[in-house]
Amino acid sequence: MTCLIDTNVLVYAIDHSDPTRMMRANTVLETVVSAESAVITAQVLAEFANVSLKNVPQPSGTERVYAIVEHYMRAIPVLPLTAAIVLEAVRGVRVYSLSYYDSQIWAVARLNQIPVVLSEDFRSNGTLEGVTFINPFDSAFDPGRLA
């Protein structure tokens, strides 16, 4: 099952302030990377870099963030932001009242026929036009489902 990984999963993977979420995020990432079942977006990489440089406790530093972004670029296919995605994201805001950037994640998944988005930012197990949102930090979630 192909899934789109949202920014919060990448951020928690390096955030030592929440060891439980950090462990879960790393388990999820290891599972999807080894199964080659994940994609990310350029938006996710940009948000990850921004948050990591500014907000993650124990600041990561530019060299470490650069290395992590480079690692993700090599390990996980990165989908681009296109004009069609921007237009679809605006439709998602209009029709579903999503925030723009959440709608952009949904639009990338929908237009690329990716059935699952892993994120804590959406209603878990909700589905919009064929895209299901799963919270990988929910205690009932089994990361083995991703393999």
For residue 123, pLDDT beyond 80: no
The pTM (predicted TM-score) of the whole model is 0.90
CATH of domain 3-136: 3.40.50.1010
Check residue 50 and give its pLDDT: 92
Question: Torsion angle of alpha carbons 2, 145, 135, 65, nearest 10°?
Answer: -60
What are the sequence ranges of the domains in the chain? 3-136
How does residue 113 score in pLDDT terms, banded at 50, 70 and 90?
very high
Give 2-28 pLDDT, tens digit per residue. Answer: 999 999 999 999 988 899 999 999 999
CA distance 47 to 104: 13
For residue 56, pLDDT beyond 90: no
Scored b (16 or more CB within 10 A) or e, 134-144 reads bbbbeeebebe
Check residue 79 and give its pLDDT: 96
